[in-house]
Structure 1
Amino acid sequence: MRTWIAGLAFILPLVIAGASNAEGEGRYQMERNADGFVRLDTVTGEMSVCTEASGQLTCRMAADERAAFEQELDRLTKRVEALEEAQRSGGLADKPRLPTDEEIDRTMGVMERMMRRFMDIVKTLEGEEEKTSPQTDQMPDKT
């Protein structure tokens, strides 16, 4: 409990400093502590504990974040398992529902009316084209 309070006393100034972060500074702020570093994401406020080993810095989630992450992972795992079980037992439809005869007839009626109107437009345009095109009985001279 005492280390938690000491850690909180260390982290509180980091959060306050992150809130007043200048525009030109980076997103993450690192502060050294006795065990390594604490990395603060100045945008989200999330903190990670980082340790240095062999010249590399390794960061891990804080305990609260880790617990939330594991709960979400467990929830998603259970959901996937339930979906897989439903698929195996036939609970999920493997085939899409085919349209009924009534739906097909209604769709075909709409398509038929559309095609008839389209063909009427084509015939009208062809008739107008014949009226406006010049009637030539002779072929022009090619010289």
Structure 2
Amino acid sequence: MHRSLAGLAFVLPLLVAGAATAAENGRYQMERTAEGFVRLDTRTGEVSLCKEASGQIACRMAADERAAFETELDLLTKRVEALEKAQGSGLYSDKPHLPTDEEIDRTMGVMERIMRRFMDIVKTLEGGDHKAGSQSDQLPEKT
């Protein structure tokens, strides 16, 4: 018993100093309870229950935090299971979807028409195409 009192006498000032430092930073607040200490993280709202054992203080999650942790773990487990099921059913594929030859031909046709029109505009602006009248009729006026 004398040994644990000496350990407590050593740890308690460190705990108080640590609590004072944390309080100065405004992050943690510690309160003594019948079973040990309650530590509140003022930034996140997390509550930890702390007990002194063998000259050391050990903290663990409070019941509310544990429930939230387990809920999040359950949600993540369900997401992983859904992804594995989708992968197994063929809905999900590691291979990228490549376009068909028809899709490529259609895209190339559109690109070719765009390039032809663009080149016609360039020729018109350079003065090489006089189909629609004089060059001054085709060029826009600059102000």
TM-score by length of 1: 0.54
Instruction: Please give the alpha-carbon distance, in whole angstroms, between the structure 2 residues aligned to 1:64 and 1:70.
Output: 10
Structure 2 spans left out of the alignment, 5+ residues = 1-22, 124-143
Aligned residue pairs total: 98
CA apart distance, 1:107: 4.4
> Is residue 44 of structure 1 aligned with residue 44 of structure 2?
yes
Query: Kindly tell me: are residues 108 and 74 of structure 1, through their superposed partners in 2, closer, same or farther at Cα, counting changes over 3 Å?
Result: farther
Q: What code does the residue aligned with 1:62 have?
A: A
CA apart distance, 1:75: 1.3
Q: Which residue of 1 aligns with 2:27?
A: 27
Instruction: Please give the alpha-carbon distance, in whole angstroms, between the structure 2 residues aligned to 1:37 and 1:46.
Output: 14
CA apart distance, 1:25: 3.4
Q: Which residue of 2 aligns with 1:106?
A: 110
CA apart distance, 1:103: 2.5
Q: What code does the residue aligned with 1:53 have?
A: A
Query: Kindly tell me: are residues 31 and 98 of structure 1, through their superposed partners in 2, closer, same or farther at Cα, counting changes over 3 Å?
Result: same
Q: Which residue of 1 aligns with 2:91?
A: 91
Q: Secondary structure at the match of 1:81?
A: helix
Query: Kindly tell me: are residues 109 and 34 of structure 1, through their superposed partners in 2, closer, same or farther at Cα, counting changes over 3 Å?
Result: farther
Q: Which residue of 1 aligns with 2:55?
A: 55
Q: Which residue of 1 aligns with 2:76?
A: 76
Query: Kindly tell me: are residues 103 and 96 of structure 1, through their superposed partners in 2, closer, same or farther at Cα, counting changes over 3 Å?
Result: farther
Provide the alpha-carbon RMSD of the alignment.
3.1
Q: Secondary structure at the match of 2:39?
A: strand
Query: Kindly tell me: are residues 108 and 93 of structure 1, through their superposed partners in 2, closer, same or farther at Cα, counting changes over 3 Å?
Result: farther
Instruction: Please give the alpha-carbon distance, in whole angstroms, between the structure 1 residues aligned to 2:36 and 2:113.
Output: 75
Q: Secondary structure at the match of 1:43?
A: coil
Q: Which residue of 2 aligns with 1:3?
A: none
TM-score by length of 2: 0.54
Q: Show structure 1 runs of 4+ deviating over 3 A.
A: 23-26, 104-110
